[in-house]
């Protein structure tokens, strides 16, 4: 259990060899979930995007395909994740459409009213102080901007709650938890989407 626990704990902040293994698996392992989450962006226009907690960078690339006129900044607080995301998106970085930076959602290194869209795939479980982090996201979004959260867990499924007990600092949130925190952080309209067969959850908030 020790090595297994060490490995799955890399989902929080990938580091070292195990972290590189985890990040490599994230891009493929979360692809179907992320694509389902992005389907909830229909009707959302964006020329500037922040991909927060970007992991291995796969979703940043997919967002750039979805929004071919947009520029995107991906952020993660893991150096391993930043390096992998830079590798995956090197062509878009060279083209001037993508930047990958290291930083924390608790203190986003962006000016206010910068982005049309912010996304967070499989990451808010680990954010330190949900309402404070959501306040940061709200700050950097333009008026009318959108924030998409996509989670594999709806905060009630047994599998994810088991991992919550194994991974220090992990918290699985319900739609109600996320909605309340978003409202407190200053978001107005909040809508939730659920997968018909899986405990997958999306939350879309508007500033």
Structure confidence by residue, pLDDT tens digits, 105-118:
999 999 999 999 99
The Cα angle at residue 90 between residues 89 and 92, in degrees rounded to 5: 70
CA 206, CA 187: separation in Å to the nearest integer? 6
What are the residue ranges spanned by the domains of the chain?
A: 2-206
Weakest mean pLDDT among 37-41, 125-129, 169-173: 169-173
- What pLDDT does 134 receive? 98
Does residue 93 sit in helix, strand or coil? helix
Residue 104 per-residue DSSP state? -
> Which parts of the chain fold into alpha helices (H)?
2-8, 16-29, 31-38, 58-66, 79-88, 90-94, 130-140, 158-166, 175-185
At the second CATH level, the architecture of 2-206 is 3-Layer(aba) Sandwich (3.40)
Question: What does the pLDDT average to over 58-74?
Answer: 97
Would the pLDDT of 7 be above 50? no
Residue tagged 């990958």 (tokens):
100
Question: What does the pLDDT average to over 153-159?
Answer: 88
Edge-first strand order for the sheet with 48-52 is 98-102, 71-76, 48-52, 115-121, 141-151, 201-206, 190-194
Predicted TM-score (pTM) of this structure: 0.90
> What pairing do the DSSP bridges indicate for beta strands 141-151 and 190-194?
unpaired
Contact 27, 55 (CB under 8 A): yes
102's enclosing H/E stretch is: strand 98-102
Would the pLDDT of 1 be above 50? no
Please state the length of the chain.
207
Please, what sign has the CA dihedral across residues 14, 17, 22, 24? positive
């Amino acid at each position: 259990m020790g090595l297994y626990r060490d490995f799955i704990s890399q989902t929080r902040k990938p580091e070292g060899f195990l972290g590189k293994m985890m990040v490599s698996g994230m891009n493929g392992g979360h692809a179907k979930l992320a694509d389902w989450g992005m389907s909830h962006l229909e009707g959302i226009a964006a020329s500037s995007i922040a991909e927060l907690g970007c992991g291995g960078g796969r979703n940043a690339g997919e967002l750039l395909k979805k929004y071919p006129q947009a520029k995107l900044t991906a952020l993660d607080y893991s150096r391993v994740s930043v390096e992998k995301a830079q590798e995956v998106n090197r062509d878009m970085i060279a083209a001037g459409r993508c930047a990958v930076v290291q930083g924390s959602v608790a203190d986003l290194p962006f000016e206010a009213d910068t982005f049309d869209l912010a996304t967070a795939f499989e990451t808010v479980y680990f954010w330190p102080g949900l309402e404070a982090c959501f306040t940061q996201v709200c700050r950097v979004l333009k008026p009318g901007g959108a924030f998409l959260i996509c989670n594999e867990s709806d905060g009630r499924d047994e599998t994810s709650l088991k991992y919550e007990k194994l991974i220090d600092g992990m918290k699985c949130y319900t739609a109600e938890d996320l909605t309340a925190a978003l409202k407190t952080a200053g978001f107005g309209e909040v809508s939730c989407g659920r997968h018909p067969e899986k405990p997958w959850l999306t939350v879309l908030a508007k500033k």
